[in-house]
Amino acid sequence: MNRLSEQIEATSPDESSDWFTVVAACSAVLILGMIAGAGLWMIAAVTVAAIVGAGAFVSTQWSVNVVARREDLPEEGRDLEVLIGSRVPISVAVTNNGRLPVAWVLAEDLLPRAAGGESKQHDDAVSRTRMPALSVDGARLAVMTLWPGQTKHLRYVVHCRRRGYFQVGPTVLETGDPVGMFRRYRLGTPPMFITVLPRIELVSTYEIGSRRPIGEIRIRANVMPDPTRLRGIRQWQTGDPMRSVHWAATARTGTLHTKIYEPSSVIGATIIVDMHVSTNPDHNEPIRTDLSIVAAVSIAAALHDAGEPFGLATNGRDAADRVRTEGFLGDHRIGDHFEVRDAAGQAAAMLADNDRLQPVMIDVDRGPMHLKEMTRTLARLERTDGLTLPEFLIETESRLSSETTLLIILQQAPEETVAALVNLSRRGWAIAVVINTLGIDDYTRLAAPLLAENIHVAHLSDQDSIREVCQAQVARG
């Protein structure tokens, strides 16, 4: 049985009990009036019964006949995608389809409290750093009087200030009888979902090579010479392969000469973003996490422009999975108890359970559609209490591409994380680490054990440094 049926069954006994109490009270007063011959008692009982009956009928008719509809929605089954800084106009049409005028109906379009910035910040410093992801221009709540067939609109603008995945709605409709004896609540419209895409910064040069030879960038260590990159010629020496003999130079000089090639490597990357709450502490949120996301999507865009393969692996949580499974739970169309309004509030609460254990992974590929999918996923990514980075690497090692560099973006590197990265490097994986921290002292402390193992480390201090993190070449031994 669906949730709507469960709710109807849950509220029906209460409604029957309320009606029984009113009817019993009016009947008792009427009988007493007849016995005592008190006409005023009888008139009072009939009047109260009439008021109660009229109020119940009117409130029910108003609730059933008032409908709400969202306007300018994206295509069915698709979320609205916008860039940071965009302003999204929201319009909800509220219509009276009945034959009776509606004295009042309260329409409210819900927004997540955490995303909408409605919660009060008592610390000014915290309020400055924790800028709300969404701000609202206009009123999301209005009390309307509707004539038969009349339509009024609830209009406001949502200003998207940070990347993320956000639920707008559902719309709650509240009405009741004129004297306030009955209240009716229902959900007028289902919610819509907005994906705010992260900014893409220009990465001027990407020079982190994998251990797969014969690629696009030159490396210092001669893992394998690239026959497509001729560096020069020299006299032939014992041990040089005959296929590398430069026959034109040999014929011209009369002495065997051999070609010298530059070693090279491909520059593809599997971008790994650490999103565990233990290594992404609250006091850095949301600035450092958003910086990791911007760096990841910018590197992916640079690889896409170079025609190179790229993929994503993270221990974070996809907000789309969370919102759709833990947020809006259905369309509760019937009910006249406060539970309906509470259910609507829970539907827009964007619950923050962080126990996701399933990794988010996008296989290595090329192309604009692949970049678009990766950008959407990074936009929706959230921290989680699930797998730590070492646990995540153990869980997903068999699914990671060995032909690309594992480019790991993290804020903190405890001993367990360093040990996991060193073990991967010693087993033949190409590892590069981007440390997302503001202070140079913190970066030096975290980078030292990785540099000692010949792992390339870059410092991501702010948004401007994104252009520099991938410029250093890596010596491969």
Tell me, what CATH number does 167's domain have?
Answer: 2.60.40.10
Tally of structural domains, the chain: 4
pLDDT of residue 445: 93
Same-domain check for residues 277 and 388? yes
Same-domain check for residues 171 and 94? yes
Same-domain check for residues 89 and 183? yes
Question: Which of 164, 197, 230 is the endpoint of a domain?
Answer: 197
Same-domain check for residues 93 and 133? yes
pLDDT-based confidence at 125, cuts 50/70/90? Answer: very low
pLDDT of residue 297: 93
109 within domain boundaries: yes
Question: Which of 140, 164, 197 is the endpoint of a domain?
Answer: 197
- 138-187 residue pLDDT tens: 989 999 999 999 999 999 999 999 999 988 888 889 888 777 777 888 88
Q: DSSP label at 351?
A: -
204 within domain boundaries: no
Q: DSSP label at 384?
A: B
395 within domain boundaries: yes
Residues above pLDDT 90, as percent of the chain: 31
102 within domain boundaries: yes
pLDDT of residue 11: 36
Residue (of 407, 406, 382) closest to 460 by Cα position? 407
Average pLDDT over residues 241-265: 73
The b-or-e profile of 360-398 (16+ CB within 10 A means b, else e) is: bebebeeeeebbeebbbbbbbbbbbebbbbbbbbeebee
Q: Which amino acid is at 301?
A: A
**Residue 71 pairs with which residues in a beta bridge?**
91
- 443-476 residue pLDDT tens: 999 999 999 988 889 899 888 888 777 665 333 3
Q: Token digits for 302?
A: 């640079």
Is the pLDDT at 12 greater than 50? The verdict is no
CA distances from 410 to 67, 92, 403, 433, 460 (A): 49, 42, 22, 8, 10
332 within domain boundaries: no
DSSP letters, 387-419, are --HHHHHHHHGGGS-TTSEEEEEES---HHHHH
Higher pLDDT: 295 or 32? It is 295
- Residues 188/229, Cβ–Cβ less than 8 Å: no
What is the domain range of residue 108?
66-197
- 398-446 residue pLDDT tens: 898 887 889 999 999 999 999 999 999 888 888 889 999 998 999 999 9
Same-domain check for residues 10 and 102? no
The b-or-e profile of 97-134 (16+ CB within 10 A means b, else e) is: ebeeebeebebbbbbbebbbbeeeeeeeeeeeebebbb
Is the pLDDT at 49 greater than 60? The verdict is yes
Is the pLDDT at 345 greater than 60? The verdict is no
Same-domain check for residues 39 and 145? no
pLDDT-based confidence at 325, cuts 50/70/90? Answer: low
Same-domain check for residues 261 and 287? no
Is the pLDDT at 276 greater than 90? The verdict is yes
Same-domain check for residues 299 and 396? yes
Is the pLDDT at 229 greater than 90? The verdict is no
Same-domain check for residues 129 and 251? no
218 within domain boundaries: yes
Is the pLDDT at 224 greater than 60? The verdict is no
Same-domain check for residues 276 and 239? no
Average pLDDT over residues 106-135: 63
Place of tokens 């971008």: 271
Same-domain check for residues 370 and 444? yes
pLDDT of residue 183: 80
Residue (of 231, 251, 254, 227) closest to 241 by Cα position? 227
Angstrom distance (rounded) from CA 225 to CA 205: 23
Angstrom distance (rounded) from CA 114 to CA 107: 21
pLDDT-based confidence at 233, cuts 50/70/90? Answer: confident
Q: Which amino acid is at 475?
A: A
Question: Which of 61, 81, 96 is the endpoint of a domain?
Answer: 61
205 within domain boundaries: no
Same-domain check for residues 23 and 117? no
Residues above pLDDT 70, as percent of the chain: 68
343 within domain boundaries: no
Give the chain's length. Answer: 477
Angstrom distance (rounded) from CA 262 to CA 222: 8
Average pLDDT over residues 381-410: 89
